[in-house]
Structure 1
Amino acid sequence: METKHKAVVLGNNYYIGLSIIRSLGKHGVPVAVVDYQEEGAYARQSKYVTEKLIGPHYSKEAEKFKDFLIGYAKNQDYKPVLYPTADPYVEFIDTYLDELKEVYLINQTEQGFWSDLIDKDKLYVLAQQHNVRVPKTIQVKQNDVIERVEQELGYPCIIKPSDSSTFVSTFRKKLFKVTNRDELEEGLKKAKDAGIEVVVQQLVQGFDDHMYTFDAYLNQDSKVTHWVTAQKERQYPINFGASVYIKQKYVPELHEIGAPFLEAIGYKGFAEIEFKKDEQTGEYFLIEINVRTTNFNQMLTELGFNMPLLAYKELTGQEIGQDSLTETTNLAFHYMYEDLHASRAYVKSGQLTWKNILKTYTEKRVGSIWSASDPKPGLHYVGGLANKVKNKIVKRK
């Protein structure tokens, strides 16, 4: 395989970045990592990293960061391939796409497209235009929002942000679940006071194992070339969070819904559509699209679907072929640290028992951070956790 182009990975303090580094580095791709600080960026310790860069902050100094990245790329012999590891980096690339694509290889070619898909309002309008089922949504700017929610949605329902990253950084949760009028009014006031745009949305009924994903790679002609489906079992925060225990499971209906939609809207590169299956009707509702590498990328790679490598190969002019997983392997992805927090919450709320949870520890699964062949990131991660515990103890004293 040709590896003369570098990969530039934005964001090194989370296991998604680490997974991208390993997915590429194991195949000989030179990987340059970029972050705004060394502290907490444990993915930088991977043996597959060939270059460590510290640059300006992606949002506090966005213009400087853009100039920093362009300056780096101009000094390379070949255009590097650019990888965002989280939504804020996606939005940064989208803002400066026209400038960045002059010196970087990037899957998406239309400025603003990624951001429109991250924006739940715009995504749902787009989905409805293509006859993809989405939860019923009520805009909060209307004067009769409370009455409409009670008449058309009922309780429980959810208050959901258009911009998830800002909402999460403000409230430390992905949304507000409301069960009565007082909670609805309180949640809307919190969002308004924080200056965050939200909508009120139908709560599709079903436990967390009713959440499914369609993970696909689309080539530069916007055709699905590779795809896998999976079923969540546990999330953190529980009920409305990211996967901490998820299994590969073949669900052909997800391909029937997801592939035509992504192709019709002209998507390019990796995408993950999250669906929820209504426990009463069996209908699948599109919940959101992740336009960057998924958090269980390591599981996909183990299954033979190395999405970061597919992007690298296609963008550097190499053949990628086609593949799909049309059987159930039950291979799982497990992020143990957050799953411990989630497990306590599931048990406390009565949704699961410790027996249910511990049983899954005997199943075949892929971890998020630790690797015997690449141990330094895991050791640095554990060291960081130990320091946090130590600091808490010191503060209490």
Structure 2
Amino acid sequence: MPIEADRDVPGLIVKFGDYPLHHGGVGAIRSLGRLGVPMYAVTEDRYTPAAASRYLTRAFPWRTTGTEEPERLVEGLLRIGRRIGRPAVLIPTDEEAAVLIAEHQEALDGHFLFPRVDPGLPRRLASKQGLHDLCAEHGIASPPAAFPESYADIVAYAGSARFPVVAKNREAFVRRARPAVNGTTRIDTREGLLALARDWGEPPGVILQEYLPREDAEDWIVHACFDAHSAPLAMFTGVKVRSWPPHAGMTANAYAVDNPELADLAARFIKQIGFSGIIDLDLRFDRRDGQYKLLDFNPRMGAQFRLFETESGVDVVRALHLDLTGRTVPEGEQRAGRRYIVENIDLPALLAYRRSGYTTPHAPARPSGTELAWLAGDDPLPFLTMLARFVRPGARHLHQLWRTSRRGGTTRPAG
């Protein structure tokens, strides 16, 4: 049965971070655009892969700095809404956009369509400390963590901590000149922690978390979309095969794998907290105690969401648009065994993983199908634009990340 999307209601990709090579936004433009939905996007400039997509009706170049007041961002969104000329479904691709939409629902109401949630919930979920507290409140396992308020607290922690440990910024997006760490950072020694912490300022603004060793763990992901009553419209589970930087970064290669236990855990948690909309969860199954431990909760579309699709052709972005436009979301099981590859980062990740000798449990021997993040026969320009922007600066960036990981610090970029 074909999906009957409302072609009179456009979609708008909303992003405030500076990350022009974002395959998730391109995936969302293609997903709804192939159904005939007019698609618009906020882009850093006119020469991003998203702006090059044949399925994009119009790009709105808007390079934000991270220092704008929220009211200015809301005004900018409203100006874009007036240019579109009719209410559009908002699809945030970063935490700042998701939080802004939730916290300014009244101002955006009538101009856009978006899930209604407790205005403070997305910020709390995106915050590492807020998520840790919610997990404790609702009985969801998460790695033991410390929240130092000073360098002295870090010194005390380093005296008893079991290394390696993981450092993350407490807040998902940091409105200051330089965040404490650039994504998830693995720290292997006490000396390494103390050296890094000298530059973190007061208060440090980080969470220090137990590192779950890859030899005893499995990386799982959950992508889903929930209706206004926190009931799942589409629910997907999968395993992360490779990431870049290795073992701590953005998904480079993943498989869709059925995991009813994990799906039930995620659905119960969402019901308890009353969330509505799209989620992207990162969990690590700890074989030492048999628990799925929640590492990250992204209250928005994940970059690798196109890994997942039901037998009816529904992904989380399509489910959101159908639900917000009053259409029925077709039922269907997820297409298990599908593989997702992010071309520009999977090759270096593959080389790094082969050196480490690590293999991912549960990954099928053969995929049932492969979805490429960038290359699409019906929409080739985003791939070519990615290559043009990536080759020189991207290769240099990958090399810098690799050198960092060899020194004992591994970072995870947003997405």
Return the TM-score normalized by structure 2: 0.82
Cα distance, 1:61 vs. partner? 4.1
Q: Which residue of 2 aligns with 1:365?
A: 370
Aligned partners of 1:319, 1:287: CA distance in 2, in Å? Answer: 32
Distance in 2 (alpha carbons) for counterparts of 1:225 and 1:109 = 16
What secondary structure sits across from 2:199 in the alignment? helix
Q: How far is the alpha carbon of 1:118 from its aligned partner?
A: 0.6
Equivalent residue for 2:81, pick from 70, 73, 79: 73
Number of equivalences: 382
Partner of 2:379: 374
1:134 Cα deviation from its structure 2 partner: 0.9
- Which stretch shifts more, 382-391 or 174-183? 382-391
Aligned partner (choices 269, 273, 284) of residue 281 of structure 2: 273
Q: CA deviation at 1:224?
A: 1.7
C-alpha distance after superposition, 1:116-165 (max 9, x if no partner): 111010111111111111111112126554434543x4222222221244
Amino acid at match of 2:52: Q
1:230 paired residue number: 238
CA distance in 1, matches of 2:380, 2:329: 30
* Distance verdict in 2 for CA 1:139–1:79, change over 3 Å: same
| C-alpha distance in 2 between matches for 1:168 and 1:294 | 26
1:225 Cα offset (Å): 2.6
Q: For residues 165-215 of structure 1, give each alpha carbon's deviation from its aligned partner in whole angstroms, at most 9, with x where no partner exists.
A: 44997577423322322112123223227x751021111232497110122
Code of the aligned partner of 1:182: E
| Cα distance in structure 2, aligned partners of 1:240 and 1:387 | 23
Per the TM alignment, residue 322 of structure 1 is displaced from its structure 2 partner at its CA by: 4.1
Within the candidate set 340, 347, 353, 1:346 is matched to: 353
For residue 163 of structure 2, what is the aligned residue in structure 1? 155
Contact 1:229 1:250 in 2 (8 A): yes
C-alpha distance in structure 2 between counterparts of 1:147 and 1:29, whole Å: 55
Q: Mark the CA change 1:174 to 1:50 in structure 2 (over 3 Å): closer, same or farther.
A: same
More displaced, 85-94 or 370-379?
85-94
Q: After superposition, where does 1:40-119 map in structure 2 within 5 Å? A: 41-55=48-62, 57=64, 59-62=66-69, 63-74=71-82, 78-119=86-127
Q: Tell whether 2:222 aligns with 1:218.
A: no
What is the CA RMSD across the aligned residues, in angstroms?
A: 3.1
List runs of 5+ in structure 2 lacking aligned partners: 398-415
Q: How many percent of aligned residue pairs carry the same amino acid?
A: 19
More helix by share: 1
1:319 equivalenced with 2:352 (yes/no): no
Correspondence for 2:338 among 319, 331, 334 = 331
Maintained 8 Å contact 1:178/1:184 = yes
Q: 185, 189, 194: which is aligned to 2:194?
A: 185
Unaligned stretches of 5+ residues in structure 1: 393-397
